[in-house]
Structure 1
């Protein structure tokens, strides 16, 4: 594969395939498990009614913003951990992990205060329906404790992935899924002597499952031979140069995910005003799509890990060739996943207790998702895998945040409130954002300005 006139790099397809099987497939399985957990949650709540399903969809927007805020900072630290892993530096991996947890705890505390004490003010951003707000309120309050559990488990998950131990979070996710599904059944419907708590039971089940995830992650990290164990001082011995570089790299990814998640949350504010049936159908379709989307985006995680490791080794030409191949693989995988979404759409939609019109809307939304998944994945891998793997986080932030707020959010409100389009057409308008992003990101990739070795001198 040609890189430039001076250098030619050949990537052995068999070796790359072996790497992808080892790294990407466990990430894909974990993503499917996590998304299936959301599907099971929504299916069980959906049996209570469309209003309950809409209430949970709105209530989880706060968690969605928190999770992506945390994911953004974790992505910034992952660049360092992946490059330190490529360089064989376990000592600095522990330091970055400890700093990641400290920041995650601060983020969790902030979200706890805002979510617990200003619940109604937050919910009013998304809907003016007093019935929906009354249903969503206890779900939000009960779930606030999960922010503290994620402050430990999310950074550990990032560390496992960055050091290419992707099977560990996959197995932990399977345990969490089983726990949450069983507890949902118990608390939502009042089984085995427990009271029937409705959607509040779903929130309680999630809290217990997240607590279990944290405990298991800590035990595995401490007792496993993954290089993530050590004394407390090993995780707190931060030197100024390391922290400055980590923060400089992680702030753009944090801002990226924060403002991207708020922007995506604004779709909900727009779509919810079309009507309860329309929004419930969107919630059902988005939940189904996440199963396939999470699997597809495993290629993005694998790209960051593999490209970051090669940059850590100082092999820039190889990193570029690898990123180029991963973009091709990821886009093709996205197209294939999109076709599967379309083929499976109607049977999966029928699992939900939606009205006949709601099912038609959900099916059409899934067709839109399926047709645009290849383009969505090309843009996503560029952001989360290529640019972040190369430490080009500021450009990634300005591109994604700029596009979502200047293109996607205005289109969501225009389609919903001014043009009065049906929900599936409003979703199609928003997905046009992927085309704009892809054009900008393609030119950045070709320029090679994204390739940076962020650990030099540490």
Structure 2
């Protein structure tokens, strides 16, 4: 009931994202690589939004455990204010310094030129996401997961249709290429905002409230939310910037190599995001039990959900490896690019069960009990002290084939898993964070 709609939403999102990349990729490897680099600022922004709302969702889930709708509304309002403030910073950077953003990842003039127009157009989506993400979190934690699913079906379908129209200039529209993809995403995100506001306020959803209900926070509530959400925000920010550093390393190897990485990442997301829905469900379900004070029950539930996640990771990874050659053939890559992408997908498939396990531990188990500082230390430590140096050393110093560089970077998940297994078994994460709020 909880995980399946989230999984379907993730699957729809990643499936249509694959179609979008196929459309852009049909223009050439240069266009595919340019969009792959340009969306790094969107990726970092999205992850920061996710990081903060994930920390806030700990409170939402535990408040839902005791059916405290008043504090859920206040928590949602506070999340919107913080997310909007952060999004304004990203918006200004994207509008004023798009070339600088591109130059952080590549020194190829053609990629910089194509990516600059994309970033300026996509910048406006940062403002819409700052509202939709907190409300989506509120709907999910109150176990109304079907509503975001239905909205996503409409939004992502609209995005795909508009991509076709604006990238290729169909039905009388101008042929905008890479910029057309950004314009389609912007229009779709505006529809998403309108639909969320309609469902919540016009339909009078249980998370809807008057101005004072959403923004009448107590100092104690804000202090506790910030104490929990700042580590999750820093966690996701440092992780996303670290992931972007992989791009900075891989993109400097060459256009063909990075196009292979970008295609592989899009395909990998098609399989892994659905499995990661178990992490979202874990935070909601385990957090609810922690809010009710059932700590031992929450531990056992978390253990079972981890097993489910491992099983899904093994299945998803196996299917990815088996189908990788066929899916890669859909992209307009050179023979060298197709070969690199194939080997990269084999690496992703082999590591998927471990990646899913680590993801559920951090975003689901540890965060459900407010153990966000430890989660931040583990994730940022392994990424920045191990994986980021490994990416630059293997790709730019040792000049290894791109798929071997990716393989060595992914071994970071092995190190991370050893630490997370011990933390989970210690039960130090199982806490009630809403007591006395």
Structure-to-structure mapping, 1:42-441, within 5 angstroms: 42-224=21-203, 226-441=205-420
1:85-117 residue CA offsets vs partner (Å, 9 max, x unmatched) = 011100000000000001111011010111211
How far off its partner does 1:226 sit? Answer: 3.9
Distance 1:134 1:271 in 2: 19
Distance 2:204 2:309 in 1: 31
RMSD: 0.8
Distance 1:36 1:156 in 2: 23
How far off its partner does 1:39 sit? Answer: 0.9
Distance 1:300 1:127 in 2: 33
Distance 2:98 2:335 in 1: 33
Give the alignment's TM-score, normalised by structure 1.
0.94
How far off its partner does 1:192 sit? Answer: 0.9
How far off its partner does 1:224 sit? Answer: 4.0
Distance 2:404 2:205 in 1: 48
How far off its partner does 1:333 sit? Answer: 1.0
How far off its partner does 1:161 sit? Answer: 0.9
Distance 2:133 2:227 in 1: 20
1:382-408 residue CA offsets vs partner (Å, 9 max, x unmatched) = 000000011100000010001000111
Distance 1:269 1:159 in 2: 35
1:410-450 residue CA offsets vs partner (Å, 9 max, x unmatched) = 11111101111111111111110100110001111111111
Give the alignment's TM-score, normalised by structure 2.
0.99
How far off its partner does 1:309 sit? Answer: 0.2
- Aligned partner of 1:457 in structure 2 is 436
Distance 1:126 1:49 in 2: 19
Q: Alignment length, in residue pairs?
A: 437
Distance 2:64 2:157 in 1: 32
Distance 1:50 1:120 in 2: 20
Distance 1:34 1:397 in 2: 27
How far off its partner does 1:225 sit? Answer: 5.8
Distance 2:433 2:239 in 1: 24
How far off its partner does 1:156 sit? Answer: 0.9
Q: Identify unmatched segments of 5+ residues in structure 1.
A: 1-21
Q: Identify unmatched segments of 5+ residues in structure 2.
A: none
Q: Structure 1 segments of 4 or more deviating over 4 A?
A: none
Distance 2:208 2:358 in 1: 36
8 Å CA contact 1:223, 1:229 repeated in 2 = no
